[in-house]
């Protein structure tokens, strides 16, 4: 398989647990960037191609794909410990659970403050409006919200990079605002630890290895499924006078993270697409010049039902959407009601997320392509390899069975042309070759390299 | 290296197959993304022209390290006045074709703007052959 001498350039949050992986090919077939191969009986991910969308994790039937996260105890390295939460966390609980319960739940496990990412939504809207007025932008603009989509464009659609709005995503702006507000109360910056409760793998990578910015404003990541388990019993046992869920403040959109969340305030020239394969279809059309010129804004989200369908979100995505839509119409927090009411922690502690957070510091740097589709960096060599692929394709059965350890006949042919696979990995060819009296021993050797075994006795 | 595609007139469902395929090929060849975009946009327009106006046609793309040359050769009504067809907004597309979102005119000027060279040969009543050239070197 691809043994690389150089260290992988791209960091990923998804890992394969080799003890659990049985090389069943499900992840390999579903991967939208063709990044997975089966070698030695296990799935293996090409780090250059992976965009951390998490499709492999969804398709895995053996719990063999895991998502890295920071040790929860790390929050205690800080005196002031902020849980930066996306609205979909609140969407795990229905309207009968109070905001207070959820916040108190987070405090009971060790956080000192809670801040909702959606509080930055109005600010991003302002930034987007301003951005659209710039003369150097290319329409349709593509929202920078979803990190898996940004990475997908870098890998598969480099020519479309210039459509991405160079504005940091809400998560970063929310984190910076939160830190700023806490510093205003006299807390030393080094005492503040901001931990994002992530609904997906892509956001973890966006924090650990940001694209278009030097360092993320977030100090650590805790996976949402873990937090859910930690606070679930607290929230479900704390129904007494906690009050209902409320919106964090005026001018915030708790449905911002859902499909259509960014389009809702826009005119009909905006379009929302969710699900990574659907996103690929639309990006293909855009690249071909097939999209209606009247479409000026594309909200593209890798997960089905956007963040509600994130791979680390514990609840059903449609119920999550429903819960958030219900919450969106609730009245915002009444700041003046009762200063001791912790239910309003969110808005009482933090001032309005205002446009002083809009300066240059919130612009993303130019995004670089990381195109990994080419057969060779050198055009002439790539052309030669493509001719080789063409020849190989004439003998392959084109049934995409995946038994060779590559997701399709085409990708096996390309792997062979790249020199990282052998023709006799094709099971179909092997059977016909054996019939014709080919050297079975060589074939066995090759199969063993893919599967690690030929039968259970070995 | 040569790639060939067949296009049927009136088959709007499959309009864009050839340009989509060529796009995949060019990405694998690591062609500069700016050139790729020009090729795909020009070829898509030209491909749709065959679908919208002609009876059938063949597309041949010849890719070498120096250039990409794409010939679209169709059997169709031909273009009576190429000069007129090259004008922005001029269109002979039928109402049916326009209703489908195609045929807004500007096809040929847009193709020309995206190519390094565009050749059009047409015989009325027989067909049209257009050659798109993109320099790589």
Domain map of chain B by residue range? Answer: 2-135
Q: Is B31 on the interface with A (CB under 8 A)?
A: yes
CA distance to A29, A128, B37, per residue, from A200 (Å): 20, 24, 32
Contacts of B37 in chain A (CB under 8 A): 159, 287
B122 SS3 class: strand
With residue B4 as reference, give the H or E element that holds it: strand B2-8
Q: What is the pLDDT of residues A160-199, one digit of tens each?
A: 999 999 988 888 888 888 888 888 888 899 999 999 999 9
Task: Determine the Cα–Cα distance for residues A169 and A299; give it in Å rounded to an integer.
Answer: 12
Q: Work out the number of other CB atoms within 10 angstroms of the CB of residue B137.
A: 7
Q: How far apart (Å, rounded) are the C-alpha atoms in residues A35 and A151?
A: 13
**What tokens does A120 get?**
């930055």
pLDDT in tens, A235-257: 888 765 555 556 666 566 788 89
Q: End-to-end distance of chain B based on CA atoms, in angstroms?
A: 16
β-bridge partners, A233 = none
Contact A288 B36 (CB under 8 A): no
Q: How far apart are CA B78 and CA A323, in angstroms?
A: 60
Give residue-wise pLDDT tens across range B2-12.
Answer: 999 999 999 99
The answer to whether A384 contacts chain B (CB < 8 Å) is no
Q: Does B77 touch chain A (CB under 8 A)?
A: no
Radius of gyration of chain B (CA): 14
Distance CA A93, CA A199 (A): 15
Specify the pairing of strand B56-63 against strand B2-8.
antiparallel
Determine contact: B95 vs chain A, CB below 8 A: no
- The DSSP letter of residue B103 is -
B2-135 under CATH 3.40.50.620, yes or no: no
Range from A25-29, B52-56, B91-95 carrying the lowest mean pLDDT = B91-95
Cβ–Cβ < 8 Å for A255, A325? yes
The three-state (H, E, C) secondary structure of chain A, written as one string: CCCCCCCCCCCCCEEECCCCCCCCCHHHHHCCCCCEEEECCEEEECCCCCCCCCHHHHHCCCCCEEECCCCHHHHHHCCEEEEEECHHHHCCCCCCCCHHHHHHHHHHCCCCEEEEHHHHHHHHHHHHHHHHCCCCCCCCEECCCCHHHHHHHHHHCHHHHHHECCECCHHHHHHHHHHHHHHHCCCCHHHEEEEEEECCHHHHHHHHCCCCCCCCCCCEEEEHHHHHHHHHHHHHHCCCCCCCCCECCCCCCCCCCCCCCCCCCCCCCEEEEECHHHHHHHHHHHHCCCCCCCCCEEEEECCCCHHHHCCCCCCCHHHHHHHHHHHHCCCECCCCCCCCCHHHHHHHHCCCCCHHHCCHHHECCCCCCCCCCCCCCCHHHHHHHHHHHHHHHHHCCCCCCCCCCCCCHHHHHHHHHHCCCCHHHCHHHHHHHHHCCCCHHHHHHHHHHHHCCCCCCC
| Tokens 């960091």 belong to residue | A11
- Tell me the C-alpha to C-alpha distance, in Å, between residue A329 and each of A97, A136, A318, B109: 16, 37, 17, 50
What pLDDT score does A55 carry? 95
pLDDT band at B83 (very low <50, low <70, confident <90, very high): confident
Residue B20 has pLDDT above 80, yes or no: yes
pLDDT at position A440, please? 58
Closest-CA residue to A246 (of A317, A326, A320): A326
How far is B36 from B24, CA to CA, in rounded Å?
10
Residues of B in contact with A380 (CB under 8 A): 65
* pLDDT average, residue stretch B93-100: 67
Option in A373, A376, A390 nearest B27 (CB):
A373
Cβ atoms of residues A368 and A154 within 8 Å = yes
Give the DSSP H or E segment for B109. helix B107-114
Whether the CB of B94 is below 8 Å from some CB of chain A: the reply is: no
Which of these, A446, A415, A411, lies nearest to A429 by C-alpha position?
Answer: A446
- Please report where in the chains the tokens 């999550």 appear, as a residue: A320
Q: Are A170 and A299 in contact (CB under 8 A)?
A: no
Note the pLDDT of residue A5: 41
* Closest CA in chain A for residue B137: A379
Whether B65 sits inside 8 A of A380 (CB atoms) is: yes
Residue-level pLDDT at A345: 45
- Least Cα separation, residue B16 to chain A (angstroms): 8
Kindly give the parts of chain A with pLDDT less than 70. 1-10, 239-252, 331-361, 434-458
Coil, strand, or helix at residue B120? strand
């Amino acid at each position: 398989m691809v043994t690389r001498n150089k260290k992988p350039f791209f960091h990923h949050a998804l890992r394969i647990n080799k003890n659990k992986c049985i090389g069943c090919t499900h992840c390999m077939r579903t991967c939208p960037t063709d990044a997975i191969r089966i070698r030695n009986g296990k799935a293996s991910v090409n780090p250059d191609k992976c965009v951390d969308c998490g499709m492999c994790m969804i398709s895995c039937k053996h719990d063999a794909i895991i998502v890295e996260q920071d040790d929860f105890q790390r929050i205690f390295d800080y005196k002031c410990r902020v849980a930066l939460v996306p609205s979909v966390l609140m969407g795990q609980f229905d309207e009968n659970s109070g905001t207070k319960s959820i916040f108190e739940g987070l405090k009971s496990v060790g956080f000192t403050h809670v801040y909702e990412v959606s509080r930055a939504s109005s600010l991003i809207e302002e930034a987007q409006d301003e951005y659209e007025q710039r003369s150097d932008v290319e329409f349709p603009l593509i929202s920078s919200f979803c990190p898996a989509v940004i990475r997908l464009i870098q890998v598969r659609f480099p020519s479309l990079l210039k459509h991405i709005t160079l504005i940091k995503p809400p998560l970063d702006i929310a984190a910076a605002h939160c830190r700023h507000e806490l510093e205003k109360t006299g807390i030393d910056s080094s005492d503040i630890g901001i931990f994002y409760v992530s609904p997906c793998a892509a956001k973890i990578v966006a924090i650990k290895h940001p694209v278009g910015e030097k360092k993320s404003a977030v100090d650590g990541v805790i996976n949402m499924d873990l937090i859910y388990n930690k606070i679930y019993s607290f929230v479900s046992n704390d129904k007494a006078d906690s009050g209902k869920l409320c919106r964090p403040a005026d001018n915030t959109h708790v449905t911002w993270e859902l499909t259509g969340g960014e389009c809702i305030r826009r005119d009909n020239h905006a379009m929302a697409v969710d699900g990574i394969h659907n996103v690929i279809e639309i990006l293909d059309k855009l690249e071909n010049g097939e999209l209606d010129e009247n479409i000026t804004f594309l909200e593209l989200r890798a997960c089905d039902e956007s963040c509600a369908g994130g791979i680390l979100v514990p609840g059903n995505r449609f119920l999550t959407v429903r819960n958030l839509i219900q919450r969106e119409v609730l009245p915002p927090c009444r700041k003046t009601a009762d200063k001791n009411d912790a239910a309003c922690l969110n808005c009482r502690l933090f001032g309005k997320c205002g446009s002083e957070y809009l300066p240059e510091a919130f612009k993303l740097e130019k995004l670089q392509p990381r195109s990994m589709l080419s057969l060779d960096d050198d055009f002439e060599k790539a052309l030669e390899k493509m001719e080789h692929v063409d020849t190989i394709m004439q003998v392959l059965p084109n049934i995409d069975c995946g038994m060779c350890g590559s997701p399709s006949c085409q990708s096996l042919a390309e792997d062979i042309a790249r020199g990282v696979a052998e023709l006799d990995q094709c099971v179909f060819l092997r059977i016909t070759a054996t019939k014709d009296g080919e050297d079975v021993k060589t074939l066995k050797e090759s199969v063993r390299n893919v599967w690690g075994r030929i039968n259970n006795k070995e | 290296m040569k790639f060939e595609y067949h296009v049927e007139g009136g088959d709007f469902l499959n309009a864009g197959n050839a340009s989509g395929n060529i796009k995949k090929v060019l990405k694998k060849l690591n062609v500069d993304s700016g050139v790729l975009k020009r090729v795909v946009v020009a070829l898509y327009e030209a491909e749709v022209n065959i679908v919208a106006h002609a009876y059938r046609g063949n597309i041949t793309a010849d890719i070498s390290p120096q250039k990409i040359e794409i010939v679209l050769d169709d059997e169709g009504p031909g273009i009576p006045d190429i000069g007129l067809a090259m004008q922005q907004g001029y269109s002979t597309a039928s109402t049916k074709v326009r209703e489908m979102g195609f045929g807004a005119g500007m096809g040929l000027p847009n193709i020309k703007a995206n190519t390094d060279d565009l050749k059009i040969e047409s015989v009325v009543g027989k067909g049209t052959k257009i050659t798109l050239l993109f320099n790589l070197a």
